[in-house]
Amino acid sequence: MSDKPLQVRHRTRKAKPGSVSAPIASSAGHDPHRPVGYGNPPRATQFQKGKSGNPKGRPRLKKNLGTLIDEVLFKEVVITEGGRRRKVSAAKALFMRQLSEGLSGDGKAFERLFRAHQMLSGSAAEGVDGASTEPTDAEKAMVAELKRWLEAGQAGKGEAGDD
């Protein structure tokens, strides 16, 4: 046998003119302390933050009217009560305002609050069953009595202010 080492030919292809070769993956940007494998893709190939992995996929559902109303009514708003600021839902703020206006003499505001209470309590269930949702005589009498109290309170305030 001969003492000459075997000669091995390595063939390489020349790049076509005008073509760009694909970049060769290097470990220069890889964190050696972070595992890469099943369930742990390299950072360079992960989806970018804020971008969908399926941009042309199923569109989001459109919100119906009930959902929009719920979002508006249950959004938190800041109110000032007794000199202190606090956060409450918009619906609660609305009802609190109706109550304060009703107590200050606005009969319609109190009536609106009373009707909202009727709709949300047992009276609404009666309307679903087919019974009348009209106020009963007792309820009408109660509203009339409350209006008289409010008017009397306004008259008392006016007399006290004349002194």
Each residue's pLDDT tens digit, 9-57: 777 877 777 666 555 445 556 677 888 888 888 888 888 888 888 888 8
Residue boundaries of the structural domains of the chain: 90-158
pTM for the whole structure? 0.43
> Which residues contact residue 88 at a Cβ distance below 8 angstroms, ignoring those fewer than 6 apart?
76, 77, 79, 96
